[in-house]
C-alpha cells in the first residue's frame, strides 16, 4: 500500500519503553526486537529507542511534565554496562536487517547529557547505533544547561536521526529563575538554521521529526517542516564537494516577469497547479514558478501541496530599512519561497544593478538558506507574445515554457528522460544568457530560467530532503 501511494517511512520512534524498566524491561526488549523486524518489512531503515520511562503521577498532573522530575537511570556501573549490552544487541539485530538504531537524548538517562551520551555511545561501540540529538529536551528544563553550541559540537558528529523542537528560555541570574515555553523552531533558543548547516557539513543524512507541545501542535509542526525545507537547499549547497551541486534535483523555473495581469496570472498558475497534481511520486525534476511580487501570496495558496515550488524574481540587497518598493529576503522566506532570481539582464539594464549590487543580493539569499538562481545577462532578448498552457510531453515531463524558449531533454540509457547538459556559450559573461544554481550553469531563454544539476549520489542513508517528516505525518 505504501509503495502504491508513493510513500516511504524513513524512521519509527519508540516512546517510554525503556529496556531498563524494572517491571517491563524484558517485555520492552522483546517489543524492540519485534519492531525491528516489522520495520524491516516496511523498508524502514531507522528506529529510535530511548531510556525515558512512563510519566509519574506527579508529571501527569503538571502543566508541563518536564517541570517535574521523573525516573532517573541509576548511577551504577553494572546497570549501565547492561544497558550498553542490550543496546548493542538491538544494534546488531538492526545491522543484520540492513537498518540503524538511534538513541534519543533525554534528561536523567544514560544519554541525559551530551558528555554522557557520547560516552555511552562509545560503550555500545556498534556501527549501527547513533544519537538522536533532541536538545529541546534539555533546554526546556528549569535547571542549568551548557551552551547550545557546545552541545551541538559534541553530539552532531554522532547524529543519525533528529527530533527537532524549540523553546524560548529566559534565565534571571539575580534569582536563578528559569522560564521556558514551546515555540516554533525559528523562534527559540536553538538556532536550527546554523545547527542544520553544521550537521550537514558533518555528513548528516538522516531524517527530521518535527515535534511540538501545546497549542496547535500539528500546525506548528507543519510550519517547522517548511522552515526546514527552506534551510536545506542552501545548506546542501554549502557542503564540501567537488564544486558540483549535490542533493537537489534538476529544476525548471518559469519567471512570469510582467507579461500577465492578475486574472491571467491566476489562470496560468491554476493550470500549473493541475499539472503538479499529476506529477508522479518521486519525480526526478523540480518545477517552480516566479510570479510578480503582488501575486506571490496568491501563488503560494494555489501551489501549496501540489509539488510545484515557487520563488521570487528579485530581492532587496539589504535585510531591512527605508527602501521603498523593495522586498526583503525574510519576507520571501516567510512566504515559503525556495528560489530567488538575481542578476537578470533586465535588472542590470533597466535598474542599473552592477556586480556589487548582485553580490549583495546573493549574500542575502544564501544567508537565508534559499536557493539562488543567478543569471548572467544578455544584450538583448526576445519577447514571447503569450504563455502556453502547461502540457505533458511523451516522456511525462512538464512543459510550461513560453513560445520561443528552449528546453531540451534526452532519454538516458536507463529508459527515462533526463535533462540535456547544454554547454556554456563561447561568449563573455556580459553577452551570455545563463542561469546558475550553485555551480551548474546551462543556457536559458528569455522569461525562462532553467538550471540543471547532476543527480544526487545515492547512499545507503536517507536523503535529508526525501526523508523530511513532521509529527505523525510522513511525506
Average pLDDT over residues 155-174: 95
pLDDT given for residue 431 in this prediction: 31
- Give yes or no for a contact between 51 and 21, defined as CB atoms under 8 angstroms apart: no
Rounded CA gap, 415 and 396, in Å? 12
In the block, residue with C-alpha cell 527552506: 230
Rounded CA gap, 212 and 182, in Å? 7
pLDDT given for residue 441 in this prediction: 31
Dmax (CA) of the chain: 78
| Residue-wise DSSP of 429-445 | TTT--EEEETTEEEE--
Note the pTM of the prediction, 2 decimals: 0.55
Quick: pLDDT tens for 78-111.
999 999 999 999 999 999 999 999 999 999 999 9
pLDDT greater than 80 at residue 460: no
What is the pLDDT of the chain when averaged over all its residues? Answer: 79
Average pLDDT over residues 312-327: 93
pLDDT greater than 70 at residue 213: yes
pLDDT greater than 70 at residue 425: no
The DSSP element (H or E) to which 13 belongs, if any, is strand 11-13
CB atoms within 10 A of CB 181: 15
pLDDT greater than 70 at residue 242: no
Domains by residue range for the chain, with CATH: 11-242 (3.20.20.150), 251-451 (3.20.20.70)
User: Which one is predicted more confidently, 410 or 178?
Assistant: 178
Rounded CA gap, 181 and 213, in Å? 9
Amino acid at each position: 500500500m505504501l509503495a502504491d501511494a508513493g510513500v516511504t517511512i524513513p524512521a519509527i520512534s519508540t516512546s517510554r519503553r525503556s529496556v531498563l524498566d524494572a517491571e517491563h524491561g524484558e517485555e520492552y526488549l522483546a517489543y524492540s526486537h519485534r519492531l525491528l523486524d516489522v520495520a524491516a518489512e516496511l523498508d524502514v531503515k531507522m528506529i529510535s529507542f530511548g531510556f525515558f520511562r512512563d510519566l509519574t503521577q506527579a508529571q501527569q498532573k503538571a502543566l508541563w511534565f518536564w517541570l517535574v522530575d521523573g525516573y532517573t537511570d541509576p548511577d551504577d556501573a553494572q546497570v549501565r554496562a547492561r544497558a550498553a549490552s542490550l543496546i548493542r544487541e538491538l544494534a546488531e539485530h538492526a545491522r543484520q536487517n540492513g537498518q540503524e538504531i538511534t538513541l534519543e537524548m533525554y534528561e536523567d538517562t544514560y544519554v541525559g547529557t551530551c558528555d554522557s551520551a557520547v560516552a555511552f555511545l562509545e560503550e555500545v561501540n556498534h556501527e549501527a547505533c547513533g544519537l538522536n540529538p533532541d536538545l529541546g529536551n534539555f533546554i526546556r528544563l528549569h535547571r542549568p544547561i551548557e551552551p547550545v553550541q557546545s552541545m551541538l559540537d559534541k553530539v552532531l558528529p554522532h547524529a543519525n536521526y533528529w527530533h527537532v523542537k524549540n523553546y524560548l528560555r529566559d534565565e534571571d541570574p539575580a534569582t536563578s529563575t528559569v522560564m521556558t515555553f514551546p515555540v516554533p523552531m525559528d523562534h527559540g533558543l536553538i538556532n536550527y538554521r546554523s545547527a542544520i548547516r553544521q550537521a550537514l557539513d558533518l555528513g548528516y543524512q538522516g531524517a527530521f521529526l518535527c515535534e511540538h507541545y501545546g497549542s496547535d501542535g500539528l500546525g506548528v509542526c507543519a510550519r517547522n517542516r517548511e522552515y526546514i525545507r527552506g534551510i536545506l537547499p542552501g545548506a546542501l549547497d554549502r557542503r564540501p564537494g567537488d564544486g558540483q551541486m549535490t542533493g537537489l534535483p534538476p529544476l525548471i523555473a518559469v519567471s512570469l516577469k510582467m507579461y500577465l495581469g492578475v486574472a491571467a496570472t491566476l489562470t496560468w498558475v491554476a493550470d500549473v497547479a493541475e499539472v503538479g497534481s499529476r506529477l508522479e511520486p518521486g519525480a526526478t525534476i523540480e518545477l517552480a514558478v516566479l510570479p510578480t511580487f503582488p501575486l506571490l501570496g496568491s501563488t503560494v495558496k494555489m501551489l501549496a501541496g501540489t509539488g510545484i515550488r515557487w520563488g521570487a524574481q528579485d530581492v532587496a540587497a539589504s535585510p531591512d530599512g527605508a527602501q521603498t518598493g523593495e522586498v526583503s529576503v525574510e519576507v520571501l522566506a516567510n512566504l515559503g519561497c525556495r528560489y530567488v532570481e538575481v542578476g537578470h539582464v533586465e535588472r542590470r539594464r533597466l535598474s542599473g544593478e552592477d556586480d556589487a549590487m548582485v553580490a549583495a543580493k546573493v549574500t542575502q539569499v544564501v544567508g537565508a538558506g534559499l536557493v539562488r538562481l543567478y543569471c548572467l545577462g544578455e544584450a538583448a532578448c526576445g519577447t514571447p507574445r503569450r504563455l502556453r498552457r502547461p502540457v505533458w510531453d511523451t516522456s511525462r515531463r512538464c512543459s510550461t515554457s513560453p513560445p520561443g524558449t528552449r528546453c531540451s531533454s534526452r532519454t538516458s540509457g536507463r529508459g527515462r528522460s533526463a535533462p540535456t547538459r547544454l554547454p556554456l556559450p563561447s561568449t563573455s559573461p556580459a553577452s551570455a544568457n545563463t542561469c546558475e544554481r550553485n555551480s551548474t550553469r546551462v543556457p536559458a531563454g528569455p522569461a525562462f530560467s532553467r538550471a540543471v544539476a547532476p543527480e544526487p549520489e545515492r547512499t545507503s542513508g536517507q536523503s535529508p530532503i526525501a526523508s523530511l517528516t513532521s509529527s505523525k505525518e510522513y511525506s
